[in-house]
Each structure stands twice: as structure tokens, then as C-alpha cells.
Amino acid sequence: MLARLAENLFWAGRYVERAEDTARMADVTYHTLLESPTREITESWEQLLDVLYLRAEYGDTPIDVDGVMRFLVLDASNPGSITASVSRARENARSVRELISSELWEAINDLHLALGRRDLQEDLLDQPHELFAFVRRGSMTIYGVASETMPRDEGWRFMALGRLLERAEMTCRLIDVRYAQLEALAGPSRRLGGARGEVPRGADRADFHHWIAVLKSASAFEAYRRRYRSSMDPADVVEFLLLEPDLPRSVLYCLTGAMHQLEVLRQGEPSRATRRLGRATSSLQYRDVAELFEVGLHELLDSVQNRVADVAEAVADEFFRHHPDGELRAIATS
Amino acid sequence: MSALFDDYLTEDLFDEVFHDDGSVRPHYVELVDRLRGIAPDDLERRERIRDGIFRTAGITFTVYGDDAGVERTFPMDLVPRIVPAGEWATIERGVAQRVTALNRFLEDLYAGEQAAVRDGVVPRWLVQTAEGFRRQAFGIPVPHAARCLVSGVDLVRDRQGTYVVLEDNLRNPSGISYVLENRAAMTRVLPRAFAEQRVRPVDHYGPMLLRALREVAPPSAGEHPVAVVLTPGVYNSAYFEHAFLARQMGIELVEGRDLVVDEHVVHMRTTQGLKRVDVIYRRVDDDFLDPVVFRPDSALGVPGLLSAARAGNVTIANAIGNGVADDKAFYVFVPDLIRFYLGEEPILPNVATYVLWDDQQRAEVLDRLGELVVKPVAESGGHGMLIGPHASEAEVAAMHDRIVANPRGYIAQELVQLSRHPTLIDGEMEGRHVDLRPFAISGESVEVVPGGLTRVALRKGSLVVNSSQGGGSKDTWVLDAAPGHDATGDDATADDATPDDALRADVIAGGTATEDPVGDLAPSGAASGGRA
């Protein structure tokens, strides 16, 4: 298929996922902070901006709940805001309308139009959870419709690949933001990601509901309960969200799924993208959670994100950016 | 039997369905009977079915200007237009003849010895000053001289029912998607009407076009040439049609950025790497095709495309520079070109046209300005046009001054009384003016798709079939010449067409809009007696 259209599908997949995951992260941050002192709230929102790499875009505006939430949800100047992501997903889908099912186009268009009809400012003040749930449902509808109406052709695979890579990154960030917040609360003396012995198993009961919130925001709470019963150990939660092979939002699940799509797309031929993805996957796959904490969780999450970004870059090079004569000409004509 | 046609008035105009005495023309008898047999509420129901079909299919065009970006449908009237086999045979021969001559002229002009210019059939200055003339196209030959790979020749019928040519569209004529969609809708809305008549199919257009595209592939292309449709993108008013055609042919719909030229060979960027492209059916105007040669600010084109064409590695269809021959002033010379290149008399006449750079003709025109239609040669879509009988004295006077100041800039034409066709308006049958755009495809030979796009001015008395101004369309049925059927048609019409008076220049109307969206296709030069 045409490289441009494949890229449109890849990005349509990414942007829908980005909107959903941003909603999930804002939701969990907002609700876990409802009962916290103001100073902590400010710090937590700051950390959220950090893990989303949006601190610079946010600018000098004072950081508070309303400001950051507006920025994340409806700020047109924020390329990663929910409305901007949905609108970009729609633009990408619009250019491939010939290739996607009309139901899929309608689902994406509906979400875009529905967000346009809502009074988002009011929603944020009044019932942010309802708004975030709405975005999540809209995104899941889109993937449900895609899954039920699209033939498993190249186009579908690029869209799935984009979604899985985006989700892998965003789940890393979801863990990271919670972790950073906890770490900050705990203070420098109780660094969670310290030496092996300091893995905070069954630690602080006050953190309990924070981790529940993280699991819920990844739609993983029930599954976690069944798996770990009553234990609510941060290390278990992190392990579950990172390494659980059968959890659709776990990082490992996403990377394995992405590898499957890539292998079909490459028709089994090895490539830079598959090699990079393989390395990212194995950097997680064969570790146990204690080891992960040993490296420093934040550093690990960071490196997984970087590796995923490298995979996306390699995918773009291999599938989307063909030039007649290698790199030099690519630069000259781009 | 409903009273659908009881109040129908033909007035003093040529009516497609009824003779002047009110009797039904033989090839419409079955259709009129069938329509009379449909109860009024059933007709309404069928109109709703039709609306649903068009909405669902998303058959729309974009209106530029005030309503920028608004997508509209091009409404199809429930009453089809029928062309009997004999009439069609004349149209078909006439259109093929005209397009063949134009192909020959263009090939000769850009890649031959320019015989028509050399021998003074067409003034050299006219060619050189034509807006559509492109010297960059010199030396790029087109296989089989199929320069007008797709052309649309706009026809209207005068008071006697004679088909006359209003204008040629040789660059990027659009509208064929409506022909196919109208037919598809019609077979669902009035299925039984088809069973009674032998209507020639149109749905082979896609394969026909693809075959022609492959036939014009450069020799270097090998046995399985790769053809693509090049579109300016989703925001173009005719994007729906571009996508439609690519789908009909099963080939890629590409934008300029999907193509890349390397070593004078065109490639498209696919997920599997670069893939060679041999033929480009482009729906991008000349000026935007190649920023190296034409407008450097164009982001729609492909740098180096012309060099690839010149090297014989790709064929661009329609060819570059065709616009020279659908210039309004050039229209005047087409009958002579037919005589010159083919040694034949034109089968379809032009509208009587006057060129205003000729002193004698100009004097006569300025005298009769209030009776004539005047068109600026460089404007499109009917802009800047004067319809004498409908204009105020001040408008006529202003046109007078403009012609005197710039005689090369205008042509004048006799008014044509466009024929009318019964059309369903708010549940009533009323006469509305129509034109006809048959489409010709040039490959190894020139073929005409049976029928074409019939556009209808839905507004009472209006001559403007422009869809943004209340224009619509009709499915157009060409009847098969079947034994036992009146295949020849009842009226002596096109067959009686006489060649133009050579002294009196011929004429044209209509726009030179290059992409020529259907929404812009007013047969602006044709005006009726205004009796309605």
C-alpha cells in the first residue's frame, strides 16, 4: 500500500490511544489528589506534565488543577491534549477514508464531534471523571468497531501497531507518574527504587488507594485482584502493569503484540524495527520485579520509552520514508 | 393513471419528450406510460430512496467561495433522459471526430511539425497567447497521440433539436462519477423501466479508462504498466470523483508527495519500497504538476515529473498544454481543424460565434450586443459573461467598452434556445433546460461512453445547470439498436446538422476552469429565447 496511507493509519491508531491514555492519567491523578494538601497537588501535576514531556509546552502558567486539566483536555496549543489528539486522529482517518470501514470513520468522527458539542470547561469543573470516562469509552468504541469491521490487511496492522506502541509508552508513563509522586511524598530518605532490600513490599497503607487508582486507570484492578488476591504491594502492581503477558494494557503485552504485527508486515524478514523491538521486549521479559527496582524504576521506564520511540522511528524509516538513494537524498528532498 | 403530465407545457421550445403538438416522441412512450402509472406518493417514496442512496454513498462536491468547504450533493432527477440509438450514433461519431482532430492538432503542435499553424488554419498568435498553451510541453510525445485521454464535449440542442457543441473540455473534465452513480441509483429507483427498454450500460467506464491508460504507457513500461490517479488531495472539489475512479479501476490514488522521480523514472512510495509508475492519470492542473518547470510554490506536484515524461519513462494523461485547444477563442477553429486533419466535414456544428479581433465581426457584434451572448475568453464558469437579452442597458454599455478596449479578450455567440426536459419539481412535471456532456476516451482509438452527464437547470426558466446554483443531473439512457425497436429516433436532428458557415466564426461558451468541477459547469454560453 501507499506509504503515506500506512502512515496515516499508524498515526490514527496512535492519536486515539494518546487521547484515551491522557484521559486515564489525568483521571487517576485528579482523583488520588482530592484529599491531599495543596503543595503536593501542585507537585503531582507538575510530575504529570514531566512524564508526558509537556512541561515546556505548558509554559509559565501557574500550575494548578484547573490549569493543567484544561491544558491536558482542551488546550489547542497543546499538541498532546485530548481534543487535539482526537482531532488529529480524525484528520488522519479522513485521508484514508477509502481504506477504512465507514463504521470506523463514523466512530472516530463521532468522538470528535461529541467533544466539540460538550462544554468541556464546565465538565472539568463539575464532573471530570464523567468526561474522562466518556473519552475512554469513545476510544474503546473506535477500537471495537475497527476490530469488528476491518479486514486484517496491511492497513489494519499499521493502525494496530501505532496503537500498541503508543500504549506501551503511555503505560510506562502511567506507572512513572504514580511512582514519581509516591517517591516525592516519601521523601529522599525512602527512595522506593533503591537497593533490592528496599523494595517497598506491603509498605505504606496510605499508598494503598493510590495504587488501586493506578490499576483502575489501566482497567486492570479486577484482574490484579484475581491474581494477587488481597495483597496490594506496589512492586506487584508495577510487575503486573509492566510484565503481565496477558493483560491488554501491560507494556509487555503491547510490545509482544506490536512484534506480531511487525513480523507479519515484514513477512518474517528481520529488520531494524524488529531488532529494536526485540531488544525493548527482552529488556523487560526476562526480569523479575526486584531486578527492575534495582535498576531504578524511573530509569527503566525511561529506557523502555526511548526504545519504543526508536522502534517507531525505525518503522517510519522502513515503511513510510522511501527515498531513491539513501540518506543523503532523503535529507535533500525532505 | 396519474395526471402527472396533464399540465405539462412545452411552450415554444424544443422539448426532449414531447413533439410541439403534444404527442410523445416514440422513444419516450414507454417511460411516460410508466411514470403515469406511478402514484404521486409512490414517486415521493422513490425520491426518498434516491436521496438515501446518494447520502449514504457520500456523493458530494465541495462548493468553493462563500460556502467554502461545504459539501453538497448533485441532485439527480427521477426522470431519465433518453437518447435513441440513431441520434446517439451521430453524437458518438461527431464527438469521436472532434476529439480525434483535437488529438491530432495537439500532437502536431507540441511534438510534430505544427502544420495547422504553419498553414494558417489557426493563427499563430492565438496559439501563443492562449492561456492554456504550455511551451514546456514541446517535444513530449504521447503514444497514439492520445492527448485528450479523457475529454468531455458539452452539447446543447437548439430549437430544432440539433445537437450543437458548446465547448470542449480537454484538460480535466469531471462528472463521469455522476454518470455511473446516477445509473446505479436509477436501477434501484426505477428498476422496471430498465426492463422495458434496452439501455446501454455505462459501468464499463472504469475498465475502459484503465485500458486506455495502459495503451498510452511508454514503450519502456513493459508488459504490465502501472497506472495511478494523481489527485490534489481531499480538499479538492472533485476529490470524490478521483477516489471513485481509482476504486473503479483498482489502482492507487496518489498525491504528489507519494511520487518521487529518480534518474528520470517516476516511483511511488509504498510500504514495500519504491514502485515504478508508468502512467499518471492526473487530476492536477498543468501549473501545479512539476515545481521545477511550472509554479515553484506548488506542493501538489512532483519535482522532475516533466523530465521523466520527456525521457519517455512516464505518460501524463491528459497531456500537458491541452488547454490551448479548449480556449474559448480557439473553439472557433475546431471545425476547420477537423477539415484540415481529417479531411472530413464536422458532424456536430458549433454555435455561431464571432471573434472580436476581426473588425467586421466586431462591428456587427457591437451593433447587436443586446441580442448576443458575450464571454471573456479567459474567465471560467460563466464569470464576466453577458447574456444580452437578460442584461440591463448599463451592463450592455459596459460590455461594449470592455470589448473595444480588449477585443482579443472576448467572443460573442448567438443565443441558443436550450432544449427542455420534463423534470420532477415538487411532485409536478415541469420543463427544465438541459445540456449533455458525453465523455470520450482516447487510447489506441477514441471511444465514447454511451450517454454522458445530462445536467439540468432545476430553477424555473434558468439556463444555469451549475450545481451550486440549483443545477441537477439526469441519468442518461442511450437505447440499444435492437430489432423491432425504434432505434433511429423520430426526429431529424443531429443528422441534419449543417457545417458551419466558414466565414462566420464558430463559437463557444462555458468555462475554461481547468479542473472544471461539475459544480462549475454552467453551459453559460447558451441562452434560450427566455420564454419560460
Question: Which residues in B lie closer than 8 A to residue A158 (C-beta atoms)?
Answer: 271
Cell of A8: 496515516
Instruction: Please determine, for residue B2, whether its predicted confidence score (pLDDT) is greater than 80.
Output: no
Whether A109 and A190 map to the same domain: the answer is: no
Cβ distance B480 to B487 under 8 Å? Answer: yes
Residues A76, B64: Cα–Cα separation, whole Å: 27
Going by pLDDT thresholds of 50, 70 and 90, the confidence category of residue B494 is very low
- Asked if A154 reaches chain B (Cβ–Cβ under 8 Å), the answer is yes
pLDDT average, residue stretch A258-279: 92
Higher pLDDT, A169 or A189: A169
Task: Name every chain B residue with its beta carbon within 8 A of the beta carbon of A320.
Answer: 269, 271
Look at residue A140 and tell me if it is in a domain: yes
Contact B314, B218 (CB under 8 A): yes
In a domain, A203, yes or no: yes
Q: Compute the distance between CA of residue B400 and CA of residue B398 in angstroms, rounded to an integer.
A: 5
Residue A158 lies in a domain: no
pLDDT at B122: 95
Chain B residues whose beta carbon lies within 8 Å of the beta carbon of residue A4: 255, 257-258, 269
Order the strands of the B315-317 sheet from edge to edge. B252-254, B227-230, B279-282, B315-317
Lowest mean pLDDT among A168-172, B161-165, B290-294, B470-474: B470-474
d(Cα B382, Cα B405) in Å, to the nearest integer?
20
Of A2, A158, A325, the CB nearest to B269: A2
Interface of B with A in 288-307 (CB under 8 A): 303
> Nearest-CA distance from B185 to chain A in Å?
19
- Give pLDDT, residue B521: 34
Looking at this predicted complex, what is its ipTM?
0.78
Taking one residue from A and the other from B, the number of pairs with CB-CB distance under 8 angstroms is 48
Pair A253, A107 in one domain: no
User: Could you tell me which residue, B405 or B471, shows the higher pLDDT?
Assistant: B405
Q: Nearest chain A residue to B239 by CA: give it.
A: A95
Q: Are residues A185 and A318 in the same domain?
A: yes
Query: What percentage of residues in chain A have a pLDDT greater than 90?
Result: 46
* Listed residue (B132, B127, B148, B134) closest to B323, CA to CA: B132
Number of domains in chain A: 2
User: Average model confidence (pLDDT) for chain B?
Assistant: 85
Confidence of residue A204 (pLDDT cuts 50, 70, 90): low
pLDDT reading at B55 higher than 80? no
Residues 6+ apart with CB under 8 A from B51: none
Question: Would you say A234 and A207 are in contact if contact means Cβ atoms under 8 Å apart?
Answer: yes
Residues in chain B within 8 Å Cβ distance of A94? 234
Closest-CA distance of chain A to residue B265, Å: 10
Task: Give, rounded to a whole angstrom, the gap between the first and last alpha carbons of chain B.
Answer: 27
| Range among A293-302, B172-181, B476-485 rated most confident | B172-181
**What pLDDT is recorded for position B274?**
94
Which amino acid is located at A129 in the chain? H
A-chain residues near B303 (CB < 8 A): 333
- Does B69 touch chain A if contact means CB atoms closer than 8 Å? no
- Nearest Cα of chain A lies from the Cα of B241 at a distance, in angstroms, of 12
- Residues B271, A321: C-beta atoms closer than 8 Å: no
Report whether pLDDT(B515) > 50.
Answer: no
Q: Say yes or no to pLDDT of B379 above 70.
A: no
The parent domain of residue A74 ranges over 1-150
> Testing the interface with B: which of A96, A322, A329 to mutate, by most B Cβ within 10 A?
A322
Q: With respect to residue A136, please indicate whether it lies within any of the assigned structural domains.
A: yes
Q: Could you tell me if A94 lies within 8 Å of chain B, comparing CB atoms? A: yes
B347 three-class SS: coil
pLDDT tens digits for range B284-310: 999 999 999 998 888 899 999 999 999
Write down the mean pLDDT value for chain A: 85
Q: How confident is the model at residue B434 (pLDDT cuts 50, 70, 90)?
A: very high
Domain ranges of chain B: 1-139+151-201+325-532
Please report which confidence band the pLDDT of residue A322 belongs to, taking 50, 70 and 90 as the band edges.
confident
Q: Indicate whether A183 and A331 sit together in one domain.
A: yes
Tell me the shortest Cα–Cα distance from B261 to chain A, in angstroms: 8
Helix (H) or strand (E) holding A289: helix A289-295
Burial of B84-95, coded b for 16+ CB within 10 Å and e otherwise, reads bbbbbbbbbebb
Last residue of a domain, one of A150, A175, A207: A150
In this prediction, residues B228-246 reach a mean pLDDT of 90
B257, A4: Cβ pair inside 8 Å?
yes
Higher pLDDT, A36 or B158: B158
For residue B258, give the chain A residue with the closest CA.
A4
Q: Is A314 on the interface with B (CB under 8 A)?
A: no
If asked whether residues A57 and A123 sit together in one domain, one would say yes
Q: Which of B233, B262, B271 sits opposite A324 (nearest CB)?
A: B262
On the question of pLDDT at A193 being above 90, the answer is: no
Residue A230: pLDDT above 90?
no
Q: Is there a contact between B269 and A98 if contact means CB atoms under 8 Å apart?
A: no
Of A150, A177, A212, the one marking the end of a domain is A150
**Could you tell me if A28 and A48 are in contact, meaning their C-beta atoms sit under 8 angstroms apart?**
no
Q: Establish if A155 belongs to a structural domain.
A: no
Per the domain annotation, does A25 fall within a domain?
Answer: yes
pLDDT at B485 > cutoff 80: no
CA-based nearest distance B150→chain A, Å: 23
Residues of A whose CB is below 8 A from B233: 95
Task: Give the lowest-confidence range in A196-200, B94-98, B387-391.
Answer: A196-200
Using the Cβ of A275 and the Cβ atoms of chain B, whether some distance falls under 8 Å is answered with no
When pLDDT is cut at 50, 70 and 90, the band that residue A332 belongs to is: very low
pLDDT of residue A195: 38
B59-102 per-position pLDDT tens digit? 665 555 444 445 566 789 999 999 999 999 999 999 999 999 99
B352-372 pLDDT tens trace = 999 999 999 999 999 999 999
CB contact under 8 A, B260 and A95: no
Tell me which chain B residues have a C-beta less than 8 angstroms from the C-beta of A322: 260, 267, 269-270, 273-274
What is the number of alpha carbons within 13 Å of residue B114 lying toward its C-beta? 13
In a domain? residue A128: yes
Range with top average pLDDT, A209-218, A294-303, B14-23, B379-388: B14-23
pLDDT (0 to 100) of residue A190? 42
- B469 pLDDT more than 70: no
With a cut of 90, say whether residue B483 has pLDDT above it: no
In a shared domain, residues A6 and A110: yes
Task: Summarize the confidence of residues B314-327 as an average pLDDT.
Answer: 94
Banded pLDDT at A334 (limits 50, 70, 90): very low
Summarize pLDDT for B33-42 with one digit per residue, the tens.
Answer: 999 999 988 9
Q: Do strands B76-83 and B386-387 pair parallel, antiparallel, or not at all (unpaired)?
A: unpaired
User: Does the distance separating the beta carbons of A4 and B246 come in below 8 Å?
Assistant: no
Minimum CA–CA partner of A320 in chain B: B271
Q: Looking at the predicted structure, is the pLDDT value of residue A179 above 60? A: yes
C-alpha cell at A145: 468497531
- B252 or B501: whose pLDDT is higher? B252
Is residue B268's pLDDT more than 60? yes
Q: What is the pLDDT of residue B498?
A: 36
Reduced DSSP (H G I as helix, E B as strand, rest coil) percent helix, strand, coil of chain B, to 5 = 35, 20, 45
Tell whether A220 and A331 lie within a shared domain.
Answer: yes
On the question of pLDDT at B29 being above 90, the answer is yes
What is the mean pLDDT of the segment spanning B45-51?
Answer: 89
Distance CA A97, CA A87 (A): 15
- The rounded percent of chain A whose pLDDT value lies above 70 is 89
Cβ atoms of A213 and A241 within 8 Å: the answer is no
Q: Which three cell numbers stand for residue A267?
A: 513477512
Report the alpha-carbon distance of residue A91 to residue B466 in Å, rounded. Answer: 30
Q: Is the dihedral of CA A110, A115, A116, A117 positive or negative?
A: positive
In a domain, A295, yes or no: yes
